[in-house]
Amino acid sequence: MKKILVSQCLYGDKPVRYDGKTKEERDPRFIRWKEENRLIPVCPEVDGGLPVPRTDAQRIGDQVITRDGRDVTKEYRRGAEIALERALQEEVLCAVLKEKSPSCGSNKVYDGTFEGNLIDGQGITVQLLREAGVRVYSEEELDLVEQMVTGRENIILTGMPACGKSVTGVVLAKSLQMNFLDTDLLIQEAAEKSLQEIINEDGMEAFKSLEEQVLCGVSASHTVIATGGSAVYYPKAMEHLKKLGRIVYIQVSVETILQRLNNITTRGVAMSKDQGIRELYEERRPLYETYAEVTVGSGSGSMEDTVADIIDKVSRLRQSFR
Ligand code: SF4
């Protein structure tokens, strides 16, 4: 059974927080994982050599500074390294860490003023875990963790326009008895007009801003999600999608794209006026590769081959993480 790295203060059993308390998580799913012995508790601050209780600290850039002005970055880094070592040793499925902490916060942290202001950001331990490829969730995202535990996570398709994300996605969803969602349709629904009309009437920047907003708001379970070709331009949205499921890149050659796209100017594609398909392809390809957990080829084989390839590779990926 695959383990989950968790913050000791969420796990309970011993007080490790700066104020000498715990924040024991009482969600029934968390309790079940604990009873299954799936959870591996760590407290990076205590493991890094800090006492309980201790002066509270906040992240300021790459440093962590206590309320009374002491630099404790070294202790925080040490604790983060111990947590990472543990995560890799145990080949954890993911980590569930306490939100807002300068070590364990995964979406929000305090801004360093000690005035209670939260900003988008992550703690030192979360940063290190993510850089090593470990998925990190907060205690507010247990739905997503449960999807991973039960193998009901989403499959997210990325790739160039005309690579076949939507058509492949429908067949894939049918084959796996999953739901299907096309984010281009969500954008059209939000704007009440076609993608091309949004670009023509509101401009490219407005289109991109809407697309990012829609992608960041996607919520789904056991669903194949076909994204627009420009999804990879938005790091925040891609981080969100990565949390939702497994990212699959459908790779096709630029020649195939050129054959399939008769007139790109009518398809609502996010590209500048002086850009051709080849330039667009070269610009986006490294981004698709960066985010992909699974890459499949499409173009030479049949669509059924592509679907079978996705099912095989995603299932092998899940096995290795179960
Ligand atoms: S470092 Fe993490 S585990 Fe330790 S008290 Fe802070 S939030 Fe909890």
- DSSP string computed for 280-300: HHHHHHHHHHHH-SEEEE-SS
| Residue 265 pLDDT > 70 | no
Establish whether the linkage from the previous residue to 53 is cis, with ω within 30° of 0.
yes
User: What's the confidence (pLDDT) of residue 258?
Assistant: 87
Closest atom of ligand 1 to CA, residue 17: 5
- Name the token pair of 232: 């990879």
The whole-chain average pLDDT of the chain stands at: 92
Nearest to 126 by CA among 147, 148, 104: 104
Distance of CA 242 to the CA centre of its chain: 3
Which carries the bigger pLDDT value, residue 319 or residue 136? 136
Q: Whose CA is nearest to atom 5 of ligand 1?
A: 17
101 lines ligand 1 (CB under 6 A): yes
- Name the token pair of 104: 């364990």
Task: Look at the chain and count its residues.
Answer: 322
User: What's the confidence (pLDDT) of residue 153?
Assistant: 86
Radius of gyration of the chain (CA): 22
| Residue 322 pLDDT > 60 | no
| Residue 102 pLDDT > 90 | yes
Which carries the bigger pLDDT value, residue 153 or residue 12? 12
Which carries the bigger pLDDT value, residue 260 or residue 129? 129
43 lines ligand 1 (CB under 6 A): yes
17 lines ligand 1 (CB under 6 A): yes
Nearest to 145 by CA among 81, 80, 97: 97
**How remote is the CA of residue 15 from the centroid of ligand 1, in Å?**
10
Closest atom of ligand 1 to CA, residue 10: 8
User: What's the confidence (pLDDT) of residue 301?
Assistant: 75
Nearest to 96 by CA among 135, 128, 138, 133: 138
**Domain 151-321: which CATH class?**
alpha beta
- Residue 38's Cβ-count burial label (10 Å; 0-12, 13-18, 19+) is middle
**How remote is the CA of residue 42 from the centroid of ligand 1, in Å?**
8
Q: Where are the domains of the chain?
A: 4-145, 151-321
